[in-house]
Each structure stands twice: as structure tokens, then as C-alpha cells.
Structure 1
């Protein structure tokens, strides 16, 4: 009976330990749904083309280093979605401090992001999950 009890305790410890290690793994499902780094980079690129044509917001982006912006936003979305990237750009609040972004401009950018995700066949559930990750940044961007 002692052998059976010891084996049961060891087995339960392995199961519990396995569940704990499984739960501690980061959730990268959104990152995968977005097409990993390459998919995210494609979404960002398409969004940039939409911004250029969008008179509601294109003036806010005049004079930016497009390659750096693309890289930073790709890294940021990659990190937010659970991917292996690390955003190393400026603090969000600092980067938007002097821009005076209106609700209309904020919504226009969000609309362009959604259109870019749709153009890249990102599932609606993944789009919503990404938007949910971005929502906490609203107050830093709008300085409310």
C-alpha cells in the first residue's frame, strides 16, 4: 500500500507541476493569428499606405522616419500580441505629447489599422483582441 500511495503522490505532483508550468507559458496565440512578425509588418505597411491617403491624419506623420516608425510599430504590436519582439521606441506619452491628437484623428488611425488587418485577412476575433491590447494607451496618446 505504501508503494501505491508514494506512486500516487509522485504522479499527482507531476500532474500539478505540469499544469503550473503550462499556465506560466506566455500566450502567443494572438501573435500567431496576426501572422507572426512578418504578418504584423505587412499590416503596419498597409496601414502606412492608408495613412498617407487619409487627410484626417496624414499631416501628423509628415517628416517622420518611415522605416523607423514601421520597425517600432511592428515591434510594439508584436510585443503586445505575445510575440518575442521588444519595443524599444519612445514612451507613448512622450512621443505624442505635442501632437494634440483629437478623437477624430485617434479613431481614423484605429480605422486604418482595422482596414489594414482586414486587407491581410486577420480574423475579426484577432483584430478585436489586438484593439483590446491597444485601448489602455488611449489616455497616454490623448493625454486625458
Structure 2
């Protein structure tokens, strides 16, 4: 038992470190890099979509500039940033697209890849994905 004398010290440092982070009030938006970070995530995701014929097919008739703006606005709002999403509902936007689970999962994988490339820590990645996951039923047709 004597060799674990450092355990209480380590636990105290861990709790103090976590509390300090919470006290700073770093929003998910800030953890994603704020406006510039969200813009980089959206730009990276657009490149991923362009490179993937499976998901690219979903965006053939899409106004890409509007999509870019609304996606950035939505990610900002979902991450508790200073934005209000002004686009259509996910159900309305996707009702005629017949998005499959496979396509949805490929897009999520692309988003994860982009966040990793942007060096977003895993915690904020998971927090964003959790907030976006509630939209699955409004997007996927099968």
C-alpha cells in the first residue's frame, strides 16, 4: 500500500485540472476553433464529399455555396456558438434524397477524418457527433 502514496496527489491534480477547464467555460464552439475552426471543418468536409462518389451523388443538385454557409451556421449553432441556424429542417432538406445508412455513415466518417486532420481533440469530436446524431432519423430514409 505504501507504494501508492502518489495516488491521492494524482487524483487531486486530475480533479483540479478538470475543474479548471470547466470553470474557463470553454464551449464546444471554442474547442472546435471558433468561426475559423468551423469554417475549416466545413471546407474539409466539402473536399471529402467531392472525393467520395457515394456521398457526392447526394449533392448533385445542391447549391454548394448555400450548403457551405448553412452547414457552417448549423455546426456553429449546434456547438453553442453565436449563430442561429436559419436553414430548412433536416427532415425537409433530406426527404426526397433517400439517404441510406451507409451514405450517412460515410459522411460521418468523413467528418471524423476532417476533425482529426484539424487536430480537434477526441472529446470535442465526440461531443459534436453526439449532438449531430439526433438528426439521423430526419436524414436517413431506411
Using the size of structure 1 for normalisation, the TM-score is 0.78
Of 78, 93, 96, which aligns to 2:94?
96
Q: SS of the counterpart of 1:132?
A: helix
* Contact kept? 2:100, 2:141, Cα under 8 Å: no
**How far apart are 1:63 and its partner, in Å?**
2.8
How much does 1:142 deviate? 1.5
Whole-Å separation in 2 of the counterparts to 1:70 and 1:104? 22
Quick one: distance in 1 between partners of 2:38 and 2:46?
12
TM superposition shift of 1:99: 0.4
Q: Secondary structure in 2 aligned to 1:88?
A: coil
Structure 1: distance between partners of 2:72 and 2:141: 23
Candidates 123, 126, 129, aligned match of 1:125? 123
- What are structure 2's unaligned runs of at least 5 residues? 1-24
Equivalents in 2 of 1:127, 1:80: separation in Å? 12
Structure-2 change in CA distance of 1:99 and 1:108 (3 Å): same
Question: Once superposed, what is the RMSD of the aligned Cα atoms?
Answer: 1.3
Partner of 1:105: 103
TM-score of the two chains, using structure 2 as the length reference = 0.79
Equivalence for 2:44: 46
Contact 1:93/1:143 (8 A) holds in 2: no
Residues 30 and 129 in structure 1, CA contact (< 8 A), matched pair in contact too = yes
Number of residue pairs matched?
A: 118
User: SS in structure 2 opposite 1:57?
Assistant: helix
Alignment of 1:20-35 (within 5 A): 29-35=27-33
- Aligned-pair distance for 1:143? 4.5
In structure 1, the partner of 2:3 is none
Q: Where does 1:49-64 land on structure 2 (aligned, <5 Å)? A: 49-64=47-62
Q: After the TM superposition, which segments of 4 or more aligned residues of structure 1 sit over 2 Å from their partners?
A: none
